[in-house]
A and B are shown apart, each in its own frame.
Chain A
Amino acid sequence: MAKVKKKIKSIKIDLDKCNGCRACEVACSAFHAKPKYSSNNPARSRIRLVRDPLRDVYLPVYAGEYTKAECSGRDKYVMDGKEYNECDFCRASCPSRELFKEPDSGLPLKCDMCEDDPPLEKPLCVQWCLNDALVYEEREEEVEEEVKPEEVEIGLESMVDKYGLQKVMDTVARMSKRE
């Protein structure tokens, strides 16, 4: 496969600057509502705040890849006297937890850096974080060319994981007859 230049978009997260307001969750869920901004609901947000005020744990984490199997990681990390679960840092939409799944369908959610036309200067969660706990960063990397699955394909794949290919095919067939 050919090497291509790829723009890597990332969000630098400064835990010390987070004031715990969850504006990032509001902004994200509103941006991704259909039609855009028509509703908001942190449970649908692709960025979530792991928050435990009395132990001073404030950790925004944004959604990464979907994974069908949970990993074995259940370790604890102690930093500056504060205890974090390994999962708190993990961006996966994973069977071991509720995070990064659509509350109605259970379908996985993934951060798309607020892809839009025209493109946003930076993702909305970053724009709405006036305390700069979230900072948008871009860099270029040379990577192997890859074929990116479409959104529908990602969704279907997880349905297949959950219910099996046959059941999904039967359902689609039945639905297409009804139409």
Chain B
Amino acid sequence: MRYAETGYNLEIDLTRGNIERVETDPKLTELHLGGLGTNAKILWDRVPPDTDPFSPDNLLIFGTGLLGATPAAGANRTVVSTYSPQTLLMGYSMMGGFLAPELKYAGYDKVVFRGKSPELVYVWIHNDKVEIRDAAHLKGKGAVETAELIKKELKDPNVQVAAIGLAGENRVYTASIEQGRSSASRLGVGAVMGDKRIKAIAIRGTKDINLARPAEYVELCNEVLKYIKFRNENPVPNVMTILQGLGSPQEMLHTDEKWHTENFMWGNARTRRKDFWNSEVEKKWKDTQEMVRTRLISCYNCPMKCGAIISVPGISTYMMKCFSKLTYAMAAFVDDLDFGFRIAQRATEYGVDGFSTPQIMAFAFELREAGILTEADFEGCPSDNEGKFFWLLDRIARREGIGDVLANGTHWAAQKIGKGAEAYAHNNIKKHEQLPLKLGMLNPVYFLMYATGEKANITQIEGQFPQGPFMTMEERQGFIKDWIQVPDEKFKQYVLDWEPRGERSNPYYPTVDMSVDIVDWQEMMHYIDDAVGVCAGLSSFPLKPPYHIHNYPKLISAAAGIDMDEEKLKEVYRRNRSLIRAVNVRRGLRRADEKPPEDHWKKRFPELEEKLLDAYYTFKGWNKDGIPTKETLHKLNLDYIAEDLEQRGIIKNG
């Protein structure tokens, strides 16, 4: 019997309509755990590196984590992996919600789609019964609406549905896959789903998930719950509100948006409005949010409440999380939060990423102001900021007129438009739009995370370590006192010595070596989470989380019966890290691509930045170009990768 995992993948060939249940190799679980790790392994093995993301040969993988659907709180993540149409690299986007556990209860660890369906379809997975069904009647329907229609059609309210909206059907590069309160939004995974003509996946599972050492595992789960309770009652002091607690930033709970509205940039990631927040705005925004927010809700088996049901009068109900309530409003320079909730409803039905899409629109209006796009491109566009954004959102989702060009994201749109438009696509890493954040002094830890993150998204790599130094020694001592999560005591010293200014401050402190250490820890926790399918909000993302490097090996071992300790788990992380790097290296990723936006910090230090990259690569066992060396790959049982890279001439002389 397989423990924690089901031991089976569902292989669906959409071109031929073939469906197979395939037993997986338990050895791969030991090497990569599951989730992102085994997804990457499948992509490496089965998708040639020159495959176009919209080729039938590209795979679209819905993976669950090794601990998914076990009693561990927050073990509910779905990891969607494919080649991204936007970055052309490996695109992986993750979501919480209820889909992954349902898939495991149906008896599968992953669904692997290949080929391309001739017609729009949806896939219905009910335990051993799997059908590819006609979805002609769902064409053009909203993502939320689609899920409702399918549940009705299948006459089962407990079916979990992940669907794309019109944007996915039209292969918009920022198209998301929506699933209730959650979505896999980044890197265009919804566009690949649309390209394969899959409107939705509907799942119902009623089988067991087994544990290797049940009593021990449940005791560990109880400790995790106890710690969550403790942390909910004891927020971390001396850091900003949204960093005090667990979960993803509690944007649905909190109404105080002074920090975001005054520190994040408005428009096309350019304008800071330092005096935006006042008592009048505060009252109005609070009233708006409390009026539309029906209930705070969670993902599967998690006590946190990071999401909300949003009912804006006059439009259909939807669910929201994190800070997409702000992204459209701030990009559009609309000071009314009500607009944020209204446009997010339409964007959710279309199924688009709430980070990239508003920036694409702000970018377009900047190009019009600069005369690079013309009035003819905007024929019929209203003149008010709200109307403008609704109008352009419709054009992008439908790929009409200028919307067709913009639907490929700011990088590709700028290339196509030319006339200097490239300078306006200024907030990208690896062709992917970033948070609208512009800062003063370079932070060496953040430099490295922005530059090297394989997912090109800061929230998917940061966490654990404070974002800035504490002001007083007393605060620092208070912080490290009960910091049980550190993998090594040295991290406590880094916090004690880190000063807001002077010699031991950014950018030269933390030092190059310390920065590499800190980044490695943060990355490690994300890679483990993504392989076991636990939400970053209870682990890698917040300060002082309930899951950490000391209890994870025990949890993995008790759940799956795999022999595991801290050293072994660290090795799995290093293996998965270099594997994903190798997938991307084979797709062309090099050091030259590892650049945060030039204007991300005002004060830059080119020499230091090069040193940081050098040290990071050396630490990982990669060469100066960010390519894993033969020796490193050998140590990680990845000789087949070294061989392949050597044959392609990517690795030379080790």
Contacts and interface: CB of A to CB of B under 8 A. Distances in A.
A40 B302 contact: no
Nearest to A130: B303
B295 A56 contact: yes
A18 B2 CA distance: 33
B444 to A, nearest CB: 38
B218 A41 contact: no
A91 B299 CA distance: 25
A40 B210 CA distance: 7
B326 to A, nearest CB: 23
A21 B317 CA distance: 19
A149 to B, nearest CB: 27
A98 to B, nearest CB: 9
A103 to B, nearest CB: 4
A35 B213 CA distance: 10
A26 B305 CA distance: 18
A40 B70 contact: yes
Interface stretch (B164-172, B201-209, B331-339, B426-434): B201-209
B218 A37 contact: yes
Given A21-B301, A23-B302, A39 B210 contact: yes
Contact of A41 (B105, B299, B317): B105
Contact of A19 (B206, B217, B298, B318): B298
Interface stretch (B7-15, B224-232, B352-360): B224-232
Given A38-B210, A41-B207, A53-B180, A20 B297 contact: yes
A119 to B, nearest CB: 17
B71 interface: yes
Given A37-B218, A103-B206, A20 B105 contact: no
A26 B157 contact: no
B298 A20 contact: yes
Given A30-B71, A54-B144, A130-B228, A23 B295 contact: no
B239 interface: no
A27 B206 contact: no
* SS of B interface (majority): loop
A40 B144 contact: no
B296 interface: yes
Contact of B217 (A37, A53, A103, A129): A37
B218 A30 contact: yes
Contact of A37 (B214, B298, B317, B318): B214
Interface in A107-122: none
Contacts of B232: 130
Contacts of A41: 105, 206-209
Residue in A40, A43, A51 with the greatest tally of chain B CB atoms within 10 Å: A40
Nearest to B207: A41
Nearest to A31: B218
A36 B228 contact: no
Contacts of A55: 317
A65 to B, nearest CB: 23
Contacts of A30: 71, 214, 218
Nearest to B127: A103
A43 B210 contact: no
Given A20-B297, A38-B211, A40-B69, A54 B305 contact: no
Interface in A96-155: 103, 128-131
B386 interface: no
Contacts of A33: 208, 214
Contacts, number: 97
Interface string A51-63: 1111110100000
Contact of A51 (B144, B157, B305): B157
Residue in B158, B302, B304 with the greatest tally of chain A CB atoms within 10 Å: B158
Contacts of A56: 294-295, 309, 311
B136 interface: no
Interface string B281-300: 00000000000001111111
A52 B211 contact: no
A42 B298 CA distance: 17
Contacts of A35: 214
Residue in B210, B294, B301, B319 with the greatest tally of chain A CB atoms within 10 Å: B301
Contacts of A43: 105, 205-207
B571 interface: no
B73 interface: yes
B181 interface: yes
B209 A52 contact: no
A42 B211 contact: no
A22 B180 contact: no
B215 interface: yes
Residue in A20, A22, A44, A131 with the greatest tally of chain B CB atoms within 10 Å: A20
A145 B71 CA distance: 39
B244 to A, nearest CB: 17
Contacts of B210: 38-39
A52 B157 CA distance: 7
A71 to B, nearest CB: 21
Interface of A: 19-23, 26-27, 30, 33, 35-44, 50-56, 58, 103, 128-131
27 contacts: A19-B296, A19-B297, A19-B305, A22-B300, A30-B218, A33-B214, A35-B214, A36-B214, A37-B214, A37-B218, A38-B210, A39-B208, A39-B211, A40-B70, A41-B206, A41-B208, A50-B157, A51-B158, A53-B180, A54-B317, A56-B311, A103-B206, A128-B225, A130-B225, A130-B229, A130-B232, A131-B305
Given A43-B105, A50-B157, 6 more contacts: A22-B98, A38-B214, A39-B211, A40-B69, A51-B158, A54-B316
8 nearest interchain CB pairs?
A37-B214, A43-B206, A130-B303, A39-B208, A21-B298, A19-B298, A41-B208, A38-B214
Interface of B: 69-71, 73, 98, 105, 144, 148, 157-158, 180-181, 205-211, 214-215, 217-218, 225, 228-229, 232, 294-305, 309, 311, 316-319
